[in-house]
Amino acid sequence: MALLEHTQTVLTRRHRELTRRIQALERDRRHTDAAVSADSADRAAERENDEVLDRLADATLVEIEQVQRALERIRSGRFGICERCERPIDELRLRAVPDATRCSVCAAAAMPPPGNAVPRAVQEQ
Ligand SMILES: [Zn+2]
């Protein structure tokens, strides 16, 4: 099945990218922790920078989890099946959102997660 193979390739590559990004973020974070400045303005800037890095790391970890879940679904033969209504997810949607675990109807019905973030699956429709 061409779409399945294509999706697996895309997701595997994405997983590698995200893992690299997390490693880079952790390196940056350690760097700013180590370079504690005596100047309070610098310290505030470093704290702000840390917060940005933390948010980026959080978002990256969420995406890694999504990608892992999608890869797991491929391995267990549930690729392309909506995890909510168990109907097939249409192919156009899978091509646009390779890690989609819900059909467009269920994704649209899903509540946004805490915070104001719009779920990625909905954003990319
Ligand atoms: Zn569904």
Comparing 39 with 16, the larger pLDDT belongs to 16
pLDDT for 117 beyond 80: no
Which structural domain range is residue 117 located in? 80-125
Ligand 1 midpoint to CA 83 (Å)? 7
Distance 109 CA to ligand 1 centre (A): 9
pTM of the model: 0.70
* Domain count for the chain: 2
If 0-12 CB within 10 Å is exposed, 13-18 middle and 19+ buried, where does residue 66 land? buried
Cα 26 to Cα 24: distance, rounded to the nearest angstrom: 5
Instruction: Indicate if 55 and 2 belong to the same structural domain.
Output: yes
24 and 69 together in one domain: yes
CA–centroid distance, residue 49 to ligand 1 (Å): 39
Instruction: Give, in order, the Cα–Cα distances in Å from 8 to each of 29, 64, 96.
Output: 31, 14, 14
- The reply to whether 61 and 107 lie within a common domain is no
Looking at the fold, whether 22 and 7 belong to one and the same domain comes out as yes
Q: Where is average pLDDT lowest: 30-39, 44-53, 76-85? A: 30-39
Per-residue pLDDT at 116 exceeds 70: no
Residues 5 and 54 grouped into a single domain: yes
Interval between CA 86 and ligand 1 midpoint (Å): 6
* Pair 54, 28 in one domain: yes
Q: How far is the CA of 122 from the centre of ligand 1 (A)?
A: 13
Q: Residue 40: which pLDDT band, with cuts at 50, 70 and 90?
A: confident
- Judge whether residue 122 has pLDDT over 90: no
Residue listed under structure tokens 């779920």:
119
pLDDT band at 125 (very low <50, low <70, confident <90, very high): very low
* 81 CB burial (10 A radius; 0-12, 13-18, 19+): middle
Question: Using one digit for the tens of pLDDT, what is the confidence trace for 79-89?
Answer: 999 999 999 99
Q: What is the mean pLDDT of the chain?
A: 85
